[in-house]
Amino acid sequence: MKIFIDTANLAEIQEAFDLGVIAGVTTNPSLVAKEGKDFFVMLKDLIAIVGDLPVSAEVISLKSEEMVEQGKKLAAIGPGIVVKLPMTEEGLKATKQLTALGIKTNVTLIFSSTQALLAARAGATYVSPFIGRLDDINQVGMNLIHEISEIFKIHGIQSEIIAASIRHSAHVIESALAGSDIATCPLKIIQAMIKHPLTDAGIAKFTADWEGSKLGSF
Ligand code: E4P
């Protein structure tokens, strides 16, 4: 399973990119609004960091014709741009049209397997089921990843599953075990995945033993 970073914050993207572990970036209008920077300038700066890695950038219109126009503008920014569209009738129509133009799409705000199946059938490159937001309403978000993954496997569907709305590192592991292709995570979750108290204790012991030995110098 690949790891994407879910943020529009350039410093966080740079930090995750330098770790060498991320294979893409997802943004959404809320994340972009939080940064207070022009969307298009931000995307160009982001691409300067990640190059051709997939970067999901979301349309704002709710009408398919306008979504297609906005999608075309976004896609023109760079080859890695993936146009993110909401899971609505209009979003599906726009997905079909953008796919026909050879533009990659990510259908977002997916909360059921029927939505994921339809998004895939409309040609979505990626589908984004939101785990955490289902957990928030007392449903088991991870069941959705299991279901979509099974359906896609049985029917040979090529759309990639992005487990989104990840709230903790267990979500990442469970998504991987459930067959998700990608988990998109905030930086703090990627950082939490790095840490283990036994790693810290092991480093402290190795360092102390080495310093006490005086058996060479770098
Ligand atoms: C994914 O594409 C979304 O940007 C994101 O994962 C939403 O997460 P949230 O539910 O924490 O806002």
Check if 160 has its Cβ closer than 6 Å to any atom of ligand 1. Answer: no
Residues 6+ apart with CB under 8 A from 107: 84, 85, 86, 87, 91, 92, 95, 115, 119, 122, 124, 126, 127, 128
All domains in the chain, ordered by first residue: 2-213 (3.20.20.70)
Residue with the nearest Cα to atom 1 of ligand 1? Answer: 164
pLDDT at 77: 97
**CB neighbours (10 Å) of residue 42?**
18
Residues 6+ apart with CB under 8 A from 144: 110, 111, 112, 113, 116, 129, 131, 134
Check if 7 has its Cβ closer than 6 Å to any atom of ligand 1. Answer: no
Quote the ligand 1 centre to 58 CA distance (angstroms): 12
Cα three-residue angle 40-42-44, rounded to 5 degrees: 70
Two structure tokens written together for 209: 């033993």
Identified catalytic residue from 72, 84, 205, 214 = 84
Residue with the nearest Cα to atom 7 of ligand 1? Answer: 165
Active-site residue flag, 84: yes
Element (H, E) at 173: helix 169-178
pLDDT at 218: 84
pLDDT at 68: 98
Quote the ligand 1 centre to 218 CA distance (angstroms): 45
Quote the ligand 1 centre to 135 CA distance (angstroms): 13
pLDDT at 133: 98
Digit-by-digit pLDDT tens for the chain (218 residues) are 999 999 999 999 999 999 999 999 999 999 999 999 999 999 999 999 999 999 999 999 999 999 999 999 999 999 999 999 999 999 999 999 999 999 999 999 999 999 999 999 999 999 999 999 999 999 999 999 999 999 999 999 999 999 999 999 999 999 999 999 999 999 999 999 999 999 999 999 999 999 999 898 88
pLDDT at 101: 98
How much is the pTM?
0.96
Q: Which residue has the tokens 């785990």?
A: 131
pLDDT at 216: 86
Predicted ipTM beyond 0.90: yes
How many Cα neighbours within 13 Å face the side chain of 203? 5
